[in-house]
Structure formats: structure tokens, C-alpha cells
Amino acid sequence: MPSEDSLTDLDDFHSHLEDSLVYQDTEELTVTSSNVSTLSKKQSRHYRRLARQAQHKRLRMAQEIQRQLEELEVKQRELEARGVEVEKLVRGEDTDVLCGDESTLLQRWYDLMRERSELRRLERELSVRAQEIDLEERHARLQHELKERMDREGTKKRTKTWKLKF
């Protein structure tokens, strides 16, 4: 049968072993927490970079759409000027210019109307695409704002929980 001294020594050993294990678990938890923090910062930087790239892409697309809309406006003005000339010829108002037969003039006028319709359709498509880009930008901004608010709320809750523990 073991002596009382040896049992006390054994209890001390177990107590020391438990303290040691708790310390090691706490240390591993701290290291893991540090790793999570580092990983979180890297992910945060990565997502910020992706958000910036997406924002630049939307900006380039918006600028391209604006350029195309300006080109369409110029084409529409030119088309309108040609349409006015052909319409005057069809009505017989401009007798200074040699004109072909009436069917040729009407064909030119219909071609101009078809071109005008095509330009208007393109303009509507570009306007819709510009609205999509605006909505994408708004969505990204709102997501960012929501994330910031959630992060602030999470920080407040963690701070409150931490204060309650101590």
C-alpha cells in the first residue's frame, strides 16, 4: 500500500500536470487566435483589393458607355440632317439638287428611319447598362456600409462580453 506522502506527491504531480495542460491549451488558443487575426487581416486586405478592382472596372465601363452615348448623339444629329435633306427632296421643296426618282428617295428616307430606330435602340440599351452599373455601385457601397456596421456591433459585443467576464 502506498504511503500518504507518496499519494500527496502523486496529487501534486497531477495538479501540476493539469496546470501545465491548461497553460498549453491557453497558449495554443492564443497562437490560434493570433493566426486567425492575421488570416482575417489578409482576407480583409484581399477583399478590399477585389472591391477596388471591381469599382475601377465599373468606372471604366461607365466611361465607355458615356463615350458610346456621345458617339450615338453625333450620329443621330448627322442622321437627322440627312433625313431633313431627303424629306425636302421627297416633298419637292429643294429643287436645286438633282434628285432621283421618288421611289429611290423614299427608299433612302426609309433607310434613314431604320438607322434612326437602330440608334435609338442602342441608346436605350446603353442607358439600361449605365443604370445597371449605378445599381452595382450602390449595392457595393451598401454592402461595405453593412459590413462596417456589423464589425462595429461585433466589436461592441465582444468588448461588452469581455468586460462581463472580468
What average pLDDT does range 7-22 have in this prediction?
51
Query: How does pLDDT run across 137-162, given as a tens digit for each residue?
Result: 999 999 989 988 988 887 776 666 65
Give every CB contact of residue 73 below 8 A, 6+ residues apart in sequence: none
Q: Is the pLDDT score of 128 beyond 70? A: yes
pTM: 0.62
Distances (CA, A) of 136 to 77, 121, 147: 32, 23, 16
Query: How does pLDDT run across 35-93, given as a tens digit for each residue?
Result: 666 767 777 888 889 889 999 999 999 999 999 999 999 999 999 999 999 988 888 87
Q: How far is CA 12 from the centre of its chain?
A: 61
Distance CA 106, CA 19 (A): 99
Q: Determine contact, residues 71/63, Cβ cutoff 8 Å.
A: no
